[in-house]
Amino acid sequence: MITKTEAIRSLSPGAKFTNVHDVITWYSDDITQPSDSDVDSEIIRLQAEYDAQEYARNREAEYPSIEECVHAILDDQLDALQVKRQAVKAKYPKP
């Protein structure tokens, strides 16, 4: 779940503020504080972006580890490694 703080950081990089129980206190005089509707829209946008990458997170969790890749290279088993990678890609296709 994308937070209000993440949305504000996305909209106003470098801004100084605090967020305590969803009450924003703004300290950056040189950066305009985004409106609540702008923050809400950014939360929706960032959440959609995050959700769209679920397949990539799932793939990363199941891909062969670096250690497995090194062993496959050293043991001349790249074909077997590619088969494992293709199986993960088939299980979690790009949308």
Query: How far does CA 82 lie from the centroid of its chain?
Result: 25
CA atoms within a 13 Å half-sphere pointing along the CA-CB vector of 11: 23
Supply the pLDDT for residue 72: 94
CB atoms within 10 A of CB 32: 11
pLDDT band at 42 (very low <50, low <70, confident <90, very high): very high
pTM over cut 0.85: no
Q: Tell me what pLDDT residue 76 has.
A: 93
Identify the sign of the CA torsion 50, 55, 60, 61. Answer: positive
Q: Over the stretch 28-41, which tens digit does the pLDDT of each residue have?
A: 999 999 999 999 99
Residues in the chain: 95
pLDDT, tens only, 19-29: 999 999 999 99
Phi, psi of 44 (to 5 degrees): -65, -45
The string of pLDDT tens digits covering residues 53-68 is: 999 999 999 999 999 9
